[in-house]
Structure 1
Amino acid sequence: MINHISIAVNDPERVANVLSEIWDGAVYPFPPCPDSYFVVANDGRGTAVEVTPAGTVIIPGEGLPDENDLNTPTEEHEAKFVQSELKPRYVATHLNINTKKSIEEIREIAKREDWRVLVCNRGEGLFQLVEVWVENTFMLEVMTPEQTARYVEITSPEFMEKAFSGAFDAHIASKQRSENLNLIG
């Protein structure tokens, strides 16, 4: 299970409140990173999103404590949130979340925020979701209860094994061919 993810946006408070609305969740300040918020889903699992200002990156701490167990103070050695000069418009990272809301409710929220919204039919009908472009830069995939049920079904190991066995075999064969090419010349 993925417990939480951090995303960087231009208006963290606004985005945090919209995520909370989609989830019927709650928003809290996130002290480790200034001007950031922690959005908790109302799912009984502790699912959350840390919403930080655009340009925020996480860097590793420095040094290590002499001894390290569960009682060792480690704050000075832990990862830290810092601001970077780089603020990409788009990123490869995206987030797929569940909601109790309907497609129409999701659309209404996105349109109110003036964010791109599209009901998607992924994989030629394999599954559906609602694509919401947070601030028109970050892709958030939102799934209704029905869409979530289908997603859970198609991501089971049994389904994936059947669906991708041919693709996996082709990938292995392709890799073996390219390794054999290295022997030429």
Structure 2
Amino acid sequence: MLFHLSIEADDPKRVAEVLAEIWGGKALPFPPVGVGSWMAFHGADNGTMIEVYPRGTMLTETGADAVGTIGEKRRNNATHFAMSTDLAAERIYAIAEREGWNAKYCKRGGKFGVIEIWIDGCQMIEVLTAEMQREYLDCVTVENWTRMLKAGAPQPLAA
């Protein structure tokens, strides 16, 4: 089980509130990393959360706990995640539109659907409705992935 992950955003409070809305959860401040950091708790209150730091936050190893410092404010990065929702796809599109975030349906590898959302125009997340979650869980298994690799399915990265 993945307990939490962290991303950066232009407005961490707003992003945490929207993610909590999608999850049926609650957004709360997260001061241990730095002023302006927030977290979105899943509605099941099982400890699952997404930490949202101000854009440019870098975690630095110290002799004690890691600390967050502000550095270069990059716009795009490789970090993304897929999250479940109990909401209908139409509601997810409406939330994304309200926030001014691009959202579209994608069928990953022709196997399972996701709603791809671009927070702040640069942070990609994938939201999976109940139907999409079933597709994902039927497809993404160690056995299926191993079979795909044996078939020579890996694709090169874009230049």
> How well do the aligned residues superpose, as a CA RMSD in angstroms?
1.7
User: Residues 37 and 53 of structure 2 are in contact (CA less than 8 Å); yes or no, is this contact kept in structure 1?
Assistant: yes
Q: Secondary structure at the match of 1:93?
A: coil
CA distance in 1, matches of 2:18, 2:113: 21
**Aligned amino acid, residue 29 of structure 2:** P
1:83 corresponds to = 70
Structure 1 regions of 5+ residues with no counterpart? 63-76, 171-185
Where does structure 1 differ by over 3 angstroms across 4 or more consecutive aligned residues? none
Q: Secondary structure at the match of 2:152?
A: helix
- Superposition map of 1:159-178 within 5 A: 159-167=144-152
1:36 corresponds to = 37
Query: 1:63-86 CA distances to partner (integer Å, 9 max, x unpaired)?
Result: xxxxxxxxxxxxxx12111111x1
User: Residues 25 and 45 of structure 2 are in contact (CA less than 8 Å); yes or no, is this contact kept in structure 1?
Assistant: no
Correspondence for 2:124 among 139, 149, 152: 139
Between Structure 1 and Structure 2, the one with more strand by share is 2
2:139 corresponds to = 154
Verify: 1:23 aligned to 2:38, yes or no. Answer: no
Larger RCO, structures 1/2 (Cα 8 Å, 6+ apart): 2
User: Residues 153 and 159 of structure 1 are in contact (CA less than 8 Å); yes or no, is this contact kept in structure 2?
Assistant: no
Structure 2 regions of 5+ residues with no counterpart? 155-159
CA distance in 2, matches of 1:129, 1:5: 19
The Cα shift of 1:102 comes to 1.1
Query: 1:47-96 CA distances to partner (integer Å, 9 max, x unpaired)?
Result: 2101110111100013xxxxxxxxxxxxxx12111111x11111111111
Between Structure 1 and Structure 2, the one with more helix by share is 1
TM-score (normalised: structure 2)? 0.90
User: Residues 2 and 47 of structure 1 are in contact (CA less than 8 Å); yes or no, is this contact kept in structure 2?
Assistant: yes
Identify which range, 48-57 or 150-159, moves more after superposition.
150-159
Query: 1:15-60 CA distances to partner (integer Å, 9 max, x unpaired)?
Result: 1111111111111110212111111112354221011101111000
- Superposition map of 1:46-85 within 5 A: 46-62=47-63, 77-84=64-71
Correspondence for 1:117 among 92, 103, 114: 103
TM-score (normalised: structure 1)? 0.78
Larger-Rg structure: 1
CA distance in 1, matches of 2:105, 2:44: 23
Aligned residue-pair number: 154
1:100 corresponds to = 86
